[in-house]
Amino acid sequence: MSKVLENVLYASSHEWARIEGDVAYVGISDYAQHALGSVVFVDLPSVGDEFSAEEEFGAVESVKAASDLMMPLSGEVLEVNEAVIDQPELLNKDPYANWLIKIQIKDAKETKNLLNATDYTKICK
Amino acid sequence: MSDVKRTILYQNHVELGGNMVEFAGFEMPLFYSNITEEHHAVRNNVGMFDVSHMGEILVTGKDALAFVNHICTNDFSKVAINKLNYTLFCYEDGGCVDDSMVYRMCENEFLLVVNASNLEKDYEWIVNQTNGFDVIVENVSDYYGQIALQGPLAEAIFQQMVGFDLSKILFLEFTFDDVLGQKAIVSRSGYTGEDGFEIYAEKNHIVTIWNHLIKRYHVTPCGLGCRDTLRFEAALPLYGHEIDATINPLEAGLGFAVKLDKPEFIGKTALADQKANGLKRKMVGIELLERNIPRQGYPVFANDEQIGVITTGYLSPSSGLPVANALISPSFAKIGTNVFVQIRKKMVPAVVRDRKFYNKKYKKGE
C-alpha cells in the first residue's frame, strides 16, 4: 500500500503539489516512485521556464524506462531541487520530502482540478 | 492476459519475489531485487536467467546442412559437430526474419534457437523454405527448458555439478552429457558478454537444475531487465531494436555473420548489392555529452536534420555513461562526429563512438 499525504494535492498523473501561498512545491507520489522502481536519473527544467498545467516538464527514469513529469498547475519555475538531481534515489527513500521544483502559481483556480488525498487514494489501486 | 504463457519455472520466479511482466507472450521476471544489482552480479560474480521462453527448432534429414546454409547468412559447412554459431535469417530483400544460435548436433541435425517473440513466425517461414530439400523441421520448444548461467564464477560453480571437464568446452562449443543425472545440452555461450554456459534439458529437469543452483550455490537469479543491459553493453543485437524486417544485418554491423562468399542463401543478392553500392544506414555507438538517458526511438540530429534514431540506450550500469546504439546515415558515422539526440523537448549534444561499451570476457581457444 503506497503512502498518500493529507496536506498536498495530487494530479491523476501521480505528481503532487504542496501549496504555500502563491507558490507550490511539486514532486512525485509514493505510488509513482514505487511503480517506477529504482530511480537513476531525474531530468528537470531550468529556473525561469514556464509551463501550462498538464504540460510535460521533465522526466524521472529507472534503468529501464522514462516516465514523463506533468505540471499539476501552470506556472514559472522558481527553484530546482539540485539534491534529487545529484541523488535520484532520494525519490525512492521519501518522495514527499524530496520535491522536484518550486513554482510561481499562475492561476490559483487550477487547484480545483487536482485531487485531495481521499480521491487520490482511490486511483492508486 | 488469458493467452499469456508461463515457463516451467514460473512458480519459482514468484517464490523468489520476481517482478513479473509480459514479454514475448510469456510472464517473465523483469527483476527480482533490482536491475542494477543483478547486472553487477553477472559482471562480477555469477547470475542465472530462465530463458525457457526461447524457441527451439530442430532441422534433421539428409539435406539438413544444405538447408541450414540456404536459410542462414552464416556458413555452417564450417561448423563442426558440437559447435554452435550465430546467424541471421533474412528475407529476399535482406531484412531480418530473426537471429539465432544454431547448434550442430550431428552430421545431419541442427538445433536452431530463436527469439520467443518470433518463434511462430520463424517456424512458418522456415517450413516454407523446405521445398526441394529432404529435411524435417520440428518445433521442439515445448520439450526444452533453458537456463543461462553467466559470469566469471559460472565455470567454477557449474563444474561441481557435472562429471565432465568444462574447461575443455571453449566459447561456442557444447556437449550433450549428464547434468544431475539426466542428459542436457551444455554450451559455453550466452547473451551477456561474460563467460558462462547455456543449459538445455527436458523442462522438468531444468527445474531440478535451477533449484540446485539456487539452494546449493546461492546463484543470483536475474531477470530480463539486466539481460538487456548486459547484452547491450556487449554490443549484442536484439530483434526489434538493432534488427528487424526493415533493417538488414550489414546495416546493423553484423557483417561477420553474413558470408557473401557462400554460393547461395536467401537474401544474398540484396545484401551483396547493398555492400557493393554502399549502405543507406549504419549502426554506431553514441555517447551523450550531458547527463540524460538516450532511449529507443529518440531521433538523432545533425545540422538541424534528422539523420537516424536510437535503437537501444541506457545509463550503462557498468560504466555509468549515457550511451546508445543508433542507426544513422553513414555520412555521420565517423567516430568523433558531433550530433544531437532529441530527448523530450531538448536537443542534447552527443558524439559518435564505438560500440564497445564493455569488453567481452569470452573464454576462447589459444
Identify which of B225, B86, B62 has the alpha carbon closest to the alpha carbon of residue A36: B225
Contact B344 A56 (CB under 8 A): yes
Alpha helices in chain B (DSSP H): 10-15, 35-44, 64-71, 119-128, 154-159, 203-215, 224-233, 268-277
Total tally of structural domains belonging to chain A: 1
A125 belongs to a structural domain: no
* pLDDT confidence of residue B49: 98
Mutate to test the interface with B, among A38, A64, A92 (most CBs of B within 10 A): A64
Q: What confidence category does residue A125 fall into, taking pLDDT thresholds of 50, 70 and 90?
A: confident
CATH for B10-53+142-233, among 3.30.1360.120, 2.160.10.10, 3.40.50.2020, 3.30.300.30? 3.30.1360.120
Q: To which H or E segment does residue A30 belong?
A: helix A30-36
Place of cell 528487424: B244
Return the CATH number at A17: 2.40.50.100
Mutate to test the interface with B, among A63, A67, A87 (most CBs of B within 10 A): A63
Locate the chain A residue with the closest alpha carbon to B318: A63
d(CA B106, CA B327): 38
Domain with A25 in it: 9-118
DSSP state of A6: S
The ipTM value here is: 0.92
Q: Which residue of B19, B229, B291 is in closest CB contact with A63? A: B229
**CATH 3.30.1360.120, chain B: domain bounds:** 10-53+142-233
* pLDDT confidence of residue B365: 73
d(CA B323, CA A111): 40
Residues 6+ apart with CB under 8 A from A65: A36
* pLDDT confidence of residue B1: 47
* pLDDT confidence of residue B278: 95
CATH architecture of B56-128: 2-Layer Sandwich (3.30)
pLDDT, one tens digit per residue, over A33-91 is 999 999 999 999 999 999 999 999 999 999 999 999 999 999 999 999 999 999 999 99
User: What type of residue is B347?
Assistant: M
Q: Which residue of B35, B293, B345 is in closest CB contact with A41? A: B293
DSSP state of B13: H
DSSP state of B15: H
Locate the chain A residue with the closest alpha carbon to B37: A38
**DSSP strand pairing (B47-50 vs A23-28):** unpaired
- Residues of chain B with pLDDT below 70 are 1-2, 366
Max Cα-Cα span within chain A: 38
A14 belongs to a structural domain: yes
**How many CB atoms neighbour CB B58 within 10 A?**
19
Locate the chain B residue with the closest alpha carbon to A64: B225
Q: A38 in contact with B at a CB cutoff of 8 Å?
A: yes
d(CA B322, CA B259): 34
Contact B293 A68 (CB under 8 A): no
Cell of A105: 502559481
- B30 CB neighbours in chain A (<8 A) are 64
Distance from CA of B214 to the nearest CA of A (A): 25
- C-alpha distances in angstroms, B131 versus B72, B191, B326? 16, 33, 38
DSSP state of A104: E
pLDDT, one tens digit per residue, over B99-149 is 999 999 999 999 999 999 999 999 999 999 999 999 999 999 999 999 999
- Is-contact B35 B317, C-beta < 8 A? yes
CATH architecture of B281-353: Beta Barrel (2.40)
- C-alpha distances in angstroms, B84 versus A46, B80, B209, B260? 53, 8, 22, 19
Residues 6+ apart with CB under 8 A from B66: B133
A65 belongs to a structural domain: yes
Arithmetic mean of pLDDT, A89-96: 97
* pLDDT confidence of residue B366: 58
- pTM here? 0.95
d(CA B67, CA B279): 28
A23 belongs to a structural domain: yes
**DSSP strand pairing (B220-221 vs B47-50):** parallel
- Is-contact B355 B327, C-beta < 8 A? no
Locate the chain A residue with the closest alpha carbon to B322: A41
A99 belongs to a structural domain: yes
Transcribe B36-59 into DSSP letters.
Answer: HHHHHHHHHS-EEEE-TTSEEEEE
* pLDDT confidence of residue B273: 97
